Amino acid sequence: MRWRAVAIAVVALAASACAGAAPAPTPTPTPAAPPPAALSPAAPPPAALPPAAAGITPLLATTQLRVGTQRVAFLLHSATTLITAPEVEVRTSLPGTSLGESAVAPFHLWPFGTRGTYATELTFEAAGEWRLDITVDDPAFAGEASITVHVAERSSVRDVGELALFSNTKTLRSENGDLSRITTSSTPDIELYRLSVAEALISGRPSVIVFASPAFCTSPTCGPQVETVSELRARHADEADFVHVEVYDNPDEIQGDLTRGTYTPALSAWGIDTVEGYLNESWVFVLGSDGRITARFEGYATLDELESALLAAS
């Protein structure tokens, strides 16, 4: 499964930056209704193709690909290091057709080190097995690699253009100020827990909703992702609402043993736990003042990416 491959590759290249993160078995999610009939889960993702002659291996970080235009993120690594060239070229094609395009994907640095992903917007005009050809032309590292990706008709996760769900997530008020019942973060920003998702949707302002488990993330990005949303809040506190939804519904009961954990109901409602191989990775949704999703980010999104999305939604 792709996220397991991404997590293993990233952890092998650098130590986890998640607060208190350590590999642990994935808990059994709480029972939830299946995704709406209009949303069909994506097919199991294919594995990356063997490395190119130059020794470049691509790892897709965006597991939910569907027809239309969307952000696509991926990592590139050689046998010994993560590739961090400032930008790479991506060419898409659907075998047997003339469909495809070229785009430049800039490198987005993650916090606490030199790790990061390449990300760009790509348009897939039809469902099917698409090919991504990636070219690195940099003095430090040059070469080519390819990866085949499955593009579905629709995404099983709440998507751009759809109304966000009125999820009654936990807040400081609902939990009598006990942050241990709301988040696994060791240094929580209390401003992210003043409103539930449902309350943010009726505020009349844009919203940024982050689903993440800072202490129990498989890749080294969930803690930093919540911190990045907190940075964004500090810049735009008077213009939008910001909500962190902990992946686990009972963080105070886990105490390092994820077999005790149960997923928050909102995770299932938004379709996040339907993702093939889901391992507690972060998702961020930017909503307009009308409650519609204007942007979504699977895996880590930088401050610049989130700020651009928020400004576009305002």
> How many Å apart are CA 141 and CA 255, to the nearest integer?
44
CA distance 216 to 230: 19
Token digits of residue 156: 């099983």
Q: Tens-of-pLDDT digits for all 314 residues of the chain? A: 444 444 444 444 444 334 433 344 444 444 444 444 333 344 444 444 344 445 899 999 998 999 999 999 999 999 888 999 999 999 999 999 999 999 999 999 888 766 889 999 999 999 999 999 999 999 988 999 999 999 999 999 999 999 999 999 999 999 999 999 999 998 999 999 999 999 999 999 999 999 999 988 766 677 889 999 999 999 999 999 999 999 999 999 987 788 898 999 999 999 999 888 777 789 999 999 999 999 999 989 999 999 999 999 98
In the chain, the largest separation of any two C-alpha atoms, in whole Å, equals: 59
Using DSSP's 3-state secondary structure scheme, residue 193 falls into helix
Residue 109: how many other CB atoms lie within 10 Å: 12
Total number of residues shown for the chain: 314
Q: What is the CATH number of domain 179-313?
A: 3.40.30.10
Q: What residue ranges of the chain are covered by domains with CATH 3.40.30.10?
A: 179-313
pLDDT for res 140: 86
CATH 2.60.40.10 domain span(s) along the chain: 42-151
What are the backbone dihedrals phi and psi of residue 298, each rounded to the nearest 5 degrees, phi first? -95, 125
Domain at 42-151: CATH architecture: Sandwich (2.60)
Residue 223 zone, left/alpha/beta (φ > 0; ψ -120 to 50; rest): alpha
pLDDT at 184: 92
- pLDDT, position 215: 86
